[in-house]
Structure 1
Amino acid sequence: MSGEETQINKFLTKKIVKEGVGNTPQNLQEVFFHYILKDQNQNFLSGTDMNHFVVTIGQNQTHWYIEEALKVMKIGERSELIIKNPEFIKEATEDEKNKFELENFEDQQQLFMEIEIVRFGQLKNNNWDLTHVQRIEKANELKLKGNEQIKAQSYKEAQQFYTEALQIVRNDNCQELKNSLLNNLSLAYLKLKEYQACIQTCKQALEFQNRNIKIYYRLGCAYMFNQDYQDAKNQFNIALKYDPDNNDVKKELENLKIVEKKNIQKQQAQFSKMFK
């Protein structure tokens, strides 16, 4: 509603001068807008009076106060903003002060801005629209979500997050991140009892980290559960070569002997029945 004042956060207040229409912008959507920024004495600092300015929501392409305002504005809306300097707010934490860009503030206690949205543009949710840095950031976000799902024992959701992250950075030079994603993905597949997928993921991971004990351990377990006992034994032995005192590997190697013995006994029993 025109004239309505909204406190977006403790540093930013928005007052609608002209109402807009439709919805607010989505994350990763382009927003075209005009703005005029003034200091606490209403002196002009900067602005886009003639040519519009464009940013993509969620990509930190502009000052924090502009993006926070755009997130809650509609097409055609014109609003007045009051931006308070965190340095002059007693309850502001050091993290909040450090987070916000203050190069326009200097010794200003507050700034004033008039901002108007012209239109919305493309939704930049295609990975090819992202820069290398943005793809890395997105993959890391998905990795963290996957880690949360692992903790919650939601292994299918975790597998989906890790797979999507690997797809995003498949052509990027970020081997350390890829290694971490492959490690986590192998765990998700093992927990899901998708042993063939686990085997393939472990093999891929070992191409760049051939001394990773966890990968050999998971690969051995996947082979064992897939009844490929000799391959399982080989992987456990490689793990012990690099870490002779690893109790988890030793335990699974002993377990492998028991499983293999039971399988042989089962086969012998089935074979003997054929000649009765």
Structure 2
Amino acid sequence: MTCPMHKGKTKEDALCLANKMKKITVADTLENMEVFISPFSVHNGDICSIYKLKIRLVKPGRYFKKSDISVEDCQHIFKKQQTTYEMDYEDDSGGEQLESEIDMSKDEKIAENAAKKVYVQSFGKIDRCRVTDCSENQVFYYGEDPKKRKTQSDKEKIPALHTAGVDLGVFREMEDQLDVRYLYANGIHAMLNSCGYPAPNTFMTHTGRYRPMSRLGAIADSIAPFSKMSFETASKLIVEAAKHGLLDNLETPSSRICLGLPAKMGTGSFDLMHQLES
């Protein structure tokens, strides 16, 4: 999911937003952690072992740069998001040892898994967020007048955000800083739920017919006959290419491989050689 910033916003502003949308778990904020065990306790009417953690947080500036979260907020979140992590263990000792006698490595593993499940900061379904600019391929930006194309140098001056995970509602809530007119996501279902029917409809019918969201739909819209032949039956495509006088400039890797030619990609510093029999 990508979205450019408004005109006049700086890369520093984009970094602030990216840090605010960064998913942070308890495990990310820990400097060290000690595990204390209460072997026999009662929780919700059941006898169980309770693991108590004594944790020390890192300095706030390390993970909370340009963020409004403080150490006090972390402490409040830890108390608010108390979780119970349950795990069953098999007793391999044949009953000679008590079940509560678990080695320290397992204790640390339980604490580590529990710390990764509690979020100090989380924005919907967004896992990561990074700062880029509008010159990136997946960022769409045409400025105030879409009819006037922007040059590459102009696009490099406009910062943008690129996330892993799709949650269009999060970006729309930041419309004061993000130019949501050029909000883009490759999740057709998410676009349908957020923008309505016209958004995915435009993508799936822009060729003048219905385009299925499958490999066949993507290959069928290719302009290279040899690329089509590399996927489906070749006879029908050969007839269509001959009938309509279609040409293939043999630039795509698939078309060149069909004719036994090396693909025009990579550094080109060497060729694949094969010794031919006389």
TM-score range, shorter chain: under 0.3
TM-score (norm 1): 0.26
TM-score (norm 2): 0.25
Q: Which has the higher contact order (CA 8 A, sep 6+)?
A: 2
